């Protein structure tokens, strides 16, 4: 005896199969990027390497796209900010700095710096769509890179540079809520 299905039953089975499958393509994705002036970590390192203390000028930095009025996330620091960034708390600390930085700090008004932070982060949610949608479990992979640089200038000449960075960011986040969509509901919600 063969099992006979009507068209409506077949349609219902197809819809049910699609709804119950783990359609991770339906999960949201997000990206956090600041691509100016560099598109990758390697590009940022190359640009940083091309800057030579006591040769590179402020105009050269602007030509490279590093300028507070144009480039996002470039912070203009004054003399006091430079001292704080370098962690200087006394005259003894200044002695351990390079001579170029010592002269710059002593110049007060003509000492300033650019601090730039560039990053690119992708947030990718994965797993079962319905488990995620109903808030039982959310799995997110965060990947990308981050590069930060400090350029100390006296007058219009770069006298010192520092950098730090994370060439490869990879982070797995998992959030579990055993009660799913009911997790956030408390007694106050039921007795309003």
For the CA atoms of 36, 147, 171, 23, what is the dihedral angle to 10 degrees? 10
Q: Is 75 helix (H, G, I), strand (E, B) or coil?
A: strand
The whole-model pTM stands at: 0.71
Q: How far apart are CA 180 and CA 167, in angstroms?
A: 36
HSE-CB at 102 with a 13 A cutoff on CA atoms is 10
Q: Output helix, strand, coil percentages for the chain, rounded to the nearest 5.
A: 35, 35, 30
pLDDT at 1: 44
**Is there a contact between 130 and 20 (Cβ–Cβ < 8 Å)?**
yes
Q: What is the mean pLDDT of residues 76-80?
A: 90
> Which carries the bigger pLDDT value, residue 38 or residue 164?
164
Six token digits for residue 76? 């203009």
Tell me the sheet residues that pair with 115.
75, 150
- For 10-21, what is each residue's pLDDT tens digit? 666 666 665 555
Average pLDDT, the chain: 82
Pick the range with the lowest mean pLDDT from 58-67, 133-142, 175-184: 175-184
**Is there a contact between 51 and 160 (Cβ–Cβ < 8 Å)?**
no
Pick the range with the lowest mean pLDDT from 39-48, 49-58, 87-96: 87-96
Residue the block writes with tokens 């704080």 = 84
Helices assigned H by DSSP within the chain: 7-20, 41-49, 58-63, 79-85, 91-94, 99-106, 129-133, 187-190
Which class for 147: exposed (0-12), middle (13-18), buried (19 or more C-beta within 10 A)?
buried
Q: Which residues contact 70 (CB under 8 A, 6 or more apart)?
A: 36
* 65 dihedral zone (left: phi>0; alpha: psi -120 to 50; beta): left
Helices assigned H by DSSP within 6-148: 7-20, 41-49, 58-63, 79-85, 91-94, 99-106, 129-133
pLDDT at 34 over 80: no
């Amino acid at each position: 005896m063969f099992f006979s299905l009507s068209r409506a039953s077949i349609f219902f089975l197809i819809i049910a199969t699609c709804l119950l499958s783990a359609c991770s393509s339906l999960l949201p994705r997000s990206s956090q990027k600041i691509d100016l002036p560099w598109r990758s970590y390697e590009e940022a390192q190359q640009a940083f390497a091309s800057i030579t203390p006591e040769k590179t000028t402020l105009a050269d930095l602007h030509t490279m796209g590093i300028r507070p009025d144009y480039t996002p996330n470039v912070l203009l620091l004054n003399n006091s900010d430079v001292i704080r960034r370098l962690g200087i708390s006394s005259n003894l600390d200044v002695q351990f700095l390079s001579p170029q930085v010592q002269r710059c700090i002593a110049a007060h008004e003509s000492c300033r710096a650019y601090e730039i932070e560039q990053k690119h982060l992708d947030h990718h949610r994965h797993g079962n769509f319905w488990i995620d949608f109903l808030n039982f479990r959310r799995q997110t992979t965060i990947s990308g890179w981050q590069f930060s640089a400090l350029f100390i200038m006296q007058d219009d000449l770069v006298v010192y540079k520092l950098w730090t960075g994370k060439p490869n960011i990879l982070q797995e986040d998992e959030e579990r809520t055993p009660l799913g969509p009911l997790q956030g509901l408390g007694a106050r919600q039921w007795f309003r």
